[in-house]
Each structure stands twice: as structure tokens, then as C-alpha cells.
Amino acid sequence: MKDTQSKRTSPVELPCNECTAGIMHSRPVTYFTWLGEELIMVPNFPAWVCDLCGKREYDERAVSMLSMLLNPEAGKPTRRIPRPRRVEPRKGNIPRPRSTDR
């Protein structure tokens, strides 16, 4: 995975498929998505913005990666289940209620 520098040779420009005249430029935007009832905001999300009509298209790979991250059904056991911590009382340190039925 050392291809960060080798991809610099080709300029990243795509023709806009909305107005067909503009050019889509790679630009970080803020990505909004709903996860259940929560609005998720992802700043600096890789996207393509047309310089003519302003159409936004989010980077497909980034979107699929993000949806994988956000989807709890993605198969990864990364869900945090809050476990109630039980504080075990030390034996012998806690005064027991005296039983009177001797």
C-alpha cells in the first residue's frame, strides 16, 4: 500500500454528468448522513464538485467505506456494548447485618 505518491501523475478531473460541460474537481466537503436518528457529519470528506453547476458527488470508495464503518451489520464486532460494572464487595470488609436468629 505505497501508492500515495505514484498517483500524482494523472490530474484528477472528471466531466460532469449533470451539465456535461463542467469539470468535476476533487474537493473535500462536509458529508452529512443519517444513522438511525442521529445526523452524522463528516468533515473533509472526499467529493467531486462541478465548477459549472456545482453538482456534488461524493467519492464512491469513501462512501462505501463510511457506510461500512457506520453500518452495525457490517460484520465487525466493533459495537460497544456498555457493560454494567459490578463492584464486588471485599470479603470481610463489609459489616454484615447481624442476624438475630441464633
Which residue in 19, 35, 40, 65 binds Zn ion (CB under 5 A)?
19
What distance in Å separates the CA atoms of residue 86 and residue 57, rounded to the nearest whole number? 49
What distance in Å separates the CA atoms of residue 70 and residue 75, rounded to the nearest whole number? 11
Q: Which is nearer to Zn ion, 26 or 71 (CB)?
A: 26
Q: Is 55 in the site for Zn ion (CB under 5 A)?
A: yes
Which residue in 23, 52, 65, 74 binds Zn ion (CB under 5 A)?
52
Q: Is 23 in the site for Zn ion (CB under 5 A)?
A: no
48 and 27 Cβ atoms separated by less than 8 Å: yes
What are the residues binding Zn ion (CB under 5 A)?
Answer: 16, 18-19, 22, 50, 52-53, 55
